Amino acid sequence: MPVTVVILLTVAAGATDALSFLALGRVFSSVMTGNTVLLGIAVGEGRPAPVLHAGAALAGYSAGTVVATRLGRTGEGRPTKWRTLVALAAELFVLTSVLTGWLAALGRPSGRLQVALLALAAAAMGAQSATVNAFPGPKQPTTRLTGTITGLLGSLAAGLGSGGRSRGAGALLALLAGAAACAALLAYARLLAPLLAPGVLVLALVRQVMAGMAPERVRG
């Protein structure tokens, strides 16, 4: 998967996480480890609303992961470039559904609609994670970047080459940029906030299509 596609997907993940946390129930759409902790805390404190939101995020993420895994693989279980595009297109459809619901609520979803939009956002992130993970070649996560931080700090401490460090730093900056941009939109142009992630995903899809159509280089 081209580096530009990975960076764009990471920006989309940062934006979706920020939207979910700031406007859809104070939980994340891709960080399921954190959501599991939040769910445990809510259960321990006996607070039903946070339990509902964390549970919806976990359920949506799980559903998105399963569906994208099925869409992205052939009958032999091997992912292909074009099936990967199908999975990413499905993610785009889900993110567009989030935008539609958001606009219908004039940027202030509540109650069941808020929970539904949260579940859809989490499903989109589950689909993205599964799609990137199934793609052949070196893996660079676009959602959960704790391992990226660990690898980046480890390579710095060990004095390893700069290739992995630059990729890891780029991913972290992309996640930060997506979250910051979405937060700014929520503050100053609230109705447009959910438009950021699908807009960036469209660019990623176009780049992936171009990569799929490019002729393979002949190695001498």
The pLDDT tens digits for 152-200 are 776 677 665 555 556 677 888 999 999 999 999 999 999 999 999 999 9
Does residue 106 belong to any structural domain of this protein? Answer: yes
Q: What is the pLDDT of residues 126-150, one digit of tens each?
A: 999 998 887 766 667 787 776 666 6
Give the pLDDT band (50/70/90) at residue 74: low
d(CA 12, CA 109): 20
Task: Give the count of domains, the chain.
Answer: 1
Q: Which of 1-5, 16-20, 34-38, 69-73 is predicted least confidently? A: 69-73
23 inside domain:
yes
The answer to whether position 220 is within a domain reads no
Domain of residue 156: give its range. 3-212
Residue 219: inside a domain: no
Does the predicted model carry a pTM greater than 0.85?
yes
Q: Name the phi and psi angles at 76, rounded to 5.
A: -85, 0
**Structural domain contains residue 142:** yes
Is residue 217 in some structural domain? no
- Asked whether residue 164 is domain-assigned, the answer is yes
Question: Does residue 97 contact residue 123 with C-beta atoms inside 8 Å?
Answer: no
The DSSP output letter for 218 is: P
DSSP-based three-state secondary structure for 215: coil
